[in-house]
Amino acid sequence: MTQPLIAVSTDVRQFENYTWHATPQQYLEAVVAGAGALPVMVPSFGERLDLDALLSAVDGVMLTGSKTNVHPALYGGDSGEANGPYDEARDSTTLPLIRKAIERGVPLLAICRGIQELNVALGGTLASEIHEREGMLDHRAPVSDDQDERFAIRQKVTIKPGSCLAGVLGAGDIAVNSVHRQAAGRLAPKLQIEAVAEDGTVEAVSVKDARAFAVGVQWHPEYWVKSDSVSQKVFRAFGDAARQHAAARLAARAAAE
């Protein structure tokens, strides 16, 4: 079978006197090396995109992390500068893409900003600056110019027994590289908790009764996908789901001919 196609979200950035729709290489590399798939970057053009046509052509959707946050107006939060920066063009693309992917049973992997988009898209809220709340850990990356140090695997999260991720990683404690200042607040009704940090922060979710793999993680499995077994297993499971979807799509096409 040829490589399944994975639609990958993009951020809108301004540099070199151009507007760029961009995705960090780590995510693209993880799709290729970890999921065994072909990444297809989706420009953040919002309602100008025919998302149904896109989802008819791909076998999975991956939502990447980002320095920007989901705009609080989308979940009734504080839209001040302190909760930024924002990328409303990305929001207008990823949130409807999430809803359509789940509805159509297209495999979905949502990472960092992606898990937050997933929660908001399905009716949940976000909690800002969680490190400032009493009893909470500081989940932010250490101040460093060394990306390996910033994304080092240092946090413990607990996978819930019987969850989707328990089938992939096993239940119990694992070590991850969770780097964030926001997290899920009120969980969307269609989501269930897959993993939590030591302070109770939601670190992974899945979509209830999903027709395909539909998981969000707050940590960054893309960064160490070539060397960390947990990261490898997450992307392998996503890739396997994408291959199953591709096979079903090809079989349906053949039956219709």
Which positions ≥6 away from 157 have C-beta within 8 Å?
173, 174, 176, 178, 195, 196, 197, 198, 203, 204, 219
Which positions ≥6 away from 44 have C-beta within 8 Å?
9, 10, 11, 12, 21, 87, 89, 90, 92, 93, 94
Q: What does the pLDDT profile of the chain (257 residues) look like in tens digits?
A: 679 999 999 999 999 999 999 999 999 999 999 999 999 999 999 999 999 999 999 999 999 999 999 999 999 988 887 788 999 999 999 999 999 999 999 999 999 999 999 999 999 999 887 666 766 676 677 778 888 889 889 999 999 999 999 999 999 999 999 887 788 999 999 999 999 998 889 999 999 999 999 999 999 999 999 999 999 999 999 999 999 999 998 888 888 87
d(CA 249, CA 243): 10
Judged on CB neighbours under 10 Å (0-12, 13-18, 19+), 127 is middle
Q: The CATH number of the domain where 178 resides is what?
A: 3.40.50.880
Q: What is the DSSP letter of 44?
A: -
Domain containing residue 11: 5-255
Give me the active site residues, please: 112, 220, 222
pLDDT tens, position by position, 110-135: 999 999 999 999 999 998 876 667 66
pLDDT tens, position by position, 191-223: 999 999 988 899 999 999 999 999 999 999 999
Return the residue matching tokens 């409807």. 96
Based on the structure, what is the number of domains in the chain? Answer: 1
d(CA 218, CA 179): 8
99 contacts 52 by C-beta, under 8 angstroms: no
158: its two tokens:
């607990």
d(CA 94, CA 133): 29
